[in-house]
Amino acid sequence: MDKQLKIITVIGARPQFIKAAALSREFSKHKSINEIIIHTGQHFDKNMSDIFFEEMEIPIPKYNLAINNVGHGAMTGRMLEEIEKILLKEKADILLVFGDTNSTLAGALAAKKLHIKVAHVEAGLRSFNMSMPEEINRILTDRISDYLFCPTEVAVSNLIKEGYENIDTIIITSGDVMQDAAMYYSNKSAEKSTIIKQLNIDDFILCTIHRAENTDDPNRLKAIIEALNHINDSTPIILPLHPRTKKKIEELNIELKVKIIDPIGYFDMIELLKKCSLVVTDSGGLQKEAFFFKKNCVTIRDETEWTELIDNQLNILSKATKSEIINTISNSMTKNSNFNINLYGNGNASKNICTELLKLNK
């Protein structure tokens, strides 16, 4: 009989909860897996209540560190210290992290220094922009991980180019757990969400803007808002407004003519994705979710980690100038795209990851 595999999962940002939910569901099918979840508290959200966990069918974290609202150094350092204490107590076989947050790096560092194996889900992603804190986090996490679960072939190729074939690590093309989650929750969102009925709208563009590169540069932000206002004259835009973006717009006294709504939950976002005619965003996750729900996407960034969407012309990058944003959105509104391609594993990523980790028990 196989011994029980003890996995500690570290999460800290809302998208990581959704990714963890997909994988935790797969873990729960195996009596030989004991998963313990640590929530660092990096993105504090009052909606992260028991009700949220219950609705999303996410196991409630055993540990909540409540570390947030401090700088990168203090945040990562405190997380490293607290996660180390838990690892010494719990004596896990493997520590699992997602993506590219400070929580990701802190968890991986704490485990590696205690000689605990590290599994990195969403390994191999690269924006090739070292000014992004996320890029630093993901590169360092990849380098000290024992298992690199890559969502795409492009991610694998990035690691090969960086010499990872010569490093003592296991590289697996797993697919993307976000597609697992999207497929699973798509069946539930229509029952859970009333957002479409509330908004009473059927032809609209879904937009999100929150990245610091866009919100912290007054010229970029003004150009983006001016472009959105122009497009909104012909096609309504629904914008769940991130608090940081809202604050910057108010500071700059920019007029915003689109339909503003408060930040929304995952079920509401899925329903908006299902019904919208186009996605305009600077979010990494929403670029993929647009693909999952067969929507063209315009990404207002200079680069993206999800280059396979660009290569297949399902996502178009736009510089943050008024004219380019308007032209790119206008062209994307009328574009017929082929979404019948397998870029992210077709919903089998969690199963693939679980299968690989269970080999530790053999």
Is 312 a member of any domain? yes
Please state which of the ranges 45-49, 78-82, 125-129 shows the lowest mean pLDDT: 45-49
Query: What is the chain's mean pLDDT, rounded?
Result: 93
Short-list 183, 155, 133, CA closest to 21:
183
Q: Which residues contact 284 (CB under 8 A, 6 or more apart)?
A: 304, 305, 306
pLDDT at 121 over 90: yes
Q: 4 or 230: whose pLDDT is higher?
A: 230
Give the residue-averaged pLDDT of 52-61: 81
Identify the domain containing residue 318 by its residue range.
Answer: 187-333
Both 143 and 204 in one domain: the answer is: no
DSSP 3: P
Both 319 and 349 in one domain: the answer is: no
Is 86 a member of any domain? yes
Q: Give the separation between CA 195 and CA 269, rounded to whole angstroms.
A: 9
Both 23 and 168 in one domain: the answer is: yes
Both 350 and 306 in one domain: the answer is: no
What is the residue-wise DSSP string for 235-280?
S-EEEE--HHHHHHHHHHT----SEEE----HHHHHHHHHH-SEEE
Q: What is the pLDDT of residues 188-210, one digit of tens each?
A: 999 999 999 999 998 999 999 99
Is 281 a member of any domain? yes
Both 138 and 83 in one domain: the answer is: yes
> pLDDT at position 360, please?
78
Short-list 308, 343, 344, CA closest to 177:
344
Both 322 and 202 in one domain: the answer is: yes
Q: What is the pLDDT of residues 304-330, one digit of tens each?
A: 999 999 999 999 999 999 999 999 999
Give the residue-averaged pLDDT of 76-89: 97
> pLDDT at position 98, please?
98
DSSP 31: T
Give the residue-averaged pLDDT of 1-28: 90
Could you tell me how many residues make up the chain? 362
Is 340 a member of any domain? no
pLDDT at 118 over 80: yes
Domain total in the chain: 2
pLDDT band at 287 (very low <50, low <70, confident <90, very high): very high
Both 309 and 350 in one domain: the answer is: no
Both 34 and 131 in one domain: the answer is: yes
Is 339 a member of any domain? no
Give the residue-averaged pLDDT of 44-56: 64
Is 338 a member of any domain? no
**Beta-carbon count within 10 A of 50 CB:** 8
**Which pTM value belongs to this model?**
0.90
Is 182 a member of any domain? no
Q: Give the separation between CA 282 and CA 212, rounded to whole angstroms.
A: 10
Short-list 278, 295, 269, 354, CA closest to 24:
354
Both 314 and 351 in one domain: the answer is: no
Is the CA virtual torsion 302, 346, 141, 95 positive or negative? positive
Q: Give the separation between CA 83 and CA 38, rounded to whole angstroms.
A: 8
3-state secondary structure of 175: coil
Cβ contact 299:281 at 8 Å: yes
Both 200 and 57 in one domain: the answer is: no
Structure-block tokens of residue 232? 């909104």
pLDDT at 171 over 90: yes
Residues noted as catalytic = 210
> pLDDT at position 51, please?
61
Is 170 a member of any domain? yes
> pLDDT at position 55, please?
76
> pLDDT at position 44, please?
64
Give the residue-averaged pLDDT of 60-86: 94
Instruction: Give the angle subtended at the CA of 328 by the CAs of 324 and 334, to the nearest 5°.
Output: 155
Q: Give the separation between CA 50 and CA 104, rounded to whole angstroms.
A: 23
What is the residue-wise DSSP string for 39-104?
E--SS--TT-SHHHHHHHTPPPPSEE----SS-HHHHHHHHHHHHHHHHHHH--SEEEEETTSHHH
Beta strands in 5-93 (DSSP E): 5-11, 33-39, 63-64
> pLDDT at position 45, please?
59
Both 54 and 166 in one domain: the answer is: yes
Q: Which residues contact 192 (CB under 8 A, 6 or more apart)?
A: 55, 267
* Domain CATH for 224: 3.40.50.2000
pLDDT at 49 over 60: no
pLDDT band at 168 (very low <50, low <70, confident <90, very high): very high
Both 197 and 165 in one domain: the answer is: no
